């Protein structure tokens, strides 16, 4: 993640933000006059809505100087997933302009969780993913500047979570001709070498010898015979607990010899998402240096 994050506990004034082109403002229902309240209330009046509606749907408006501001009302009742979903939608308009810098202002007292999640959501949605279309622009976001409150999670941990999430999405959306079992196994070996994971492969001849009939009988219907079960281990010093993860890694599920109709083939390159999630978790935990042993199986 090549995004620099800075944190300032103090709240800015409107004049402090006059040169900021893209700003997200988080506030709670006890704070009825957030920054740029005049523009906010004028837009609420024009839309015939209420300020409390901002709990469910953010509002974006362009100020007189041409800068874009988005307001979102926070609530302590939301789960982490709900917070991330609301923030993703709130940031959609801002990130669609591919900004170089983003300002996040937290005017919600004692609610740093939203600020922390806003940094994560902005970062994870500003990563470049594989795309075979021509003319696709690279993501420009280079800095996130936060004001008000503190980011609860260390920036290193946020970076690790972003790296794991991005790895999972990269693998999942890669077309099947660019992620065959052979290529996938090569990628896993490269990741293992870079991150210090122990890797063990059970290729087709070994699986046949072991009597792994359920896996072998399916994999033998595909040429070349490059399928395998891969065992990955992350064992940091001082780890006392072990967590086992198993992920499905079928690179393209055709339905076997009884082929699926064409319309059901679309999206089958995502059948290996289970293994991609396992690799993403493994990447995030090892980058965070969490002292827990991970025993991972990809098949």
The rounded average pLDDT for each run of 10 residues, N- to C-terminus, in the chain (299 residues) is 90 93 94 92 95 96 96 94 98 98 92 93 96 90 94 89 98 94 97 98 95 89 91 96 96 73 83 96 97 97
227 and 88 in a common domain: no
For residue 38, what are the contacts with CB-CB under 8 A and spacing of at least 6? none
CATH number for the domain harbouring residue 260 = 3.40.630.10
Domain that includes residue 112, residue range = 4-153
Q: Are 157 and 124 in contact (CB under 8 A)?
A: no
126 and 8 in a common domain: yes
Domain count, the chain: 2
**pLDDT at residue 154, rounded to an integer:** 86
CATH number for the domain harbouring residue 34 = 3.40.220.10
**pLDDT at residue 299, rounded to an integer:** 93
31 and 114 in a common domain: yes
Among residues 19, 276, 73, which one has the least CA distance to residue 164? 276
**pLDDT at residue 262, rounded to an integer:** 80
In this structure, what DSSP letter does residue 137 have?
Answer: P
Ranges of H-type helices in 152-180: 155-173
Number of continuous H segments (helices) and E segments (strands) in the chain: 9, 10
User: pTM of the entire structure?
Assistant: 0.91
Q: Strand, coil or helix: what is 204?
A: helix
Q: Are 285 and 173 in contact (CB under 8 A)?
A: no
226 and 138 in a common domain: no
**pLDDT at residue 149, rounded to an integer:** 84
86 and 139 in a common domain: yes
Q: Are 101 and 145 in contact (CB under 8 A)?
A: yes
Q: Please indicate, yes or no, if residue 18 is contained in any of the structural domains.
A: yes
Cα–Cα distance list, 139 to 13, 99, 102, 129, 136 (Å):
29, 8, 13, 9, 9
Count of CA atoms in the C-beta half-sphere (13 A) of 279: 28
Q: Please indicate, yes or no, if residue 168 is contained in any of the structural domains.
A: no
**pLDDT at residue 167, rounded to an integer:** 98
195 and 145 in a common domain: no
Q: Strand, coil or helix: what is 26?
A: strand
**21/99 Cα distance (integer angstroms):** 8
**pLDDT at residue 223, rounded to an integer:** 86
**10/110 Cα distance (integer angstroms):** 13
Helix (H) or strand (E) holding 285: helix 273-288
* Degrees to nearest 5, angle at CA 51 with 46 and 54: 105
CA of residue 5 relative to chain centroid, distance: 17
**pLDDT at residue 38, rounded to an integer:** 96
Q: Please indicate, yes or no, if residue 161 is contained in any of the structural domains.
A: no
180 and 124 in a common domain: no
111 and 22 in a common domain: yes
For residue 31, what are the contacts with CB-CB under 8 A and spacing of at least 6? 107, 108, 109
């Amino acid at each position: 993640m090549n995004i620099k994050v800075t944190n300032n506990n103090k709240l800015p004034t409107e004049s402090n933000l006059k040169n900021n082109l893209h700003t997200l403002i988080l506030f709670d229902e006890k704070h009825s006059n957030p920054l740029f309240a005049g523009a906010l209330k004028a837009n609420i009046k024009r839309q015939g809505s209420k300020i409390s509606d901002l709990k469910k749907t953010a509002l974006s408006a362009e100020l007189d100087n041409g800068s874009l501001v988005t307001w979102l009302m926070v609530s302590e009742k939301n789960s982490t997933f709900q917070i991330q979903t609301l923030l993703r939608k709130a940031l959609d308009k801002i990130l669609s302009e591919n900004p170089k810098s983003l300002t996040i202002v937290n005017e919600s007292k004692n609610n740093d969780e939203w600020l922390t999640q806003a940094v994560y959501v902005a970062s994870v949605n500003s990563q470049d993913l594989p795309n075979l279309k021509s003319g696709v622009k690279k993501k420009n976001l280079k800095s996130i500047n936060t004001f008000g409150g503190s980011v609860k999670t260390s920036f290193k941990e946020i970076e690790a979570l972003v790296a794991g999430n991005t790895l999972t999405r990269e693998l999942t959306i890669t077309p099947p001709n660019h992620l065959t079992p052979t290529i996938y196994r090569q990628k896993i070996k490269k990741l293992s070498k870079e991150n210090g994971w122990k890797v063990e492969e059970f290729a087709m001849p070994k699986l046949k010898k072991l009597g792994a009939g359920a896996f072998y009988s399916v994999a033998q219907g595909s040429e070349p015979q490059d399928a395998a079960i891969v065992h990955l281990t992350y064992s940091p010093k001082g780890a006392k607990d072990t967590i086992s993860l198993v992920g499905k890694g079928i690179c393209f599920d055709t339905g076997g010899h009884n082929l699926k109709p064409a319309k059901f083939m679309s999206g089958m390159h995502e059948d290996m998402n289970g293994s991609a999630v396992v690799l993403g978790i493994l990447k995030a935990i090892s980058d965070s240096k969490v002292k827990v042993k991970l025993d991972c199986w990809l098949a």
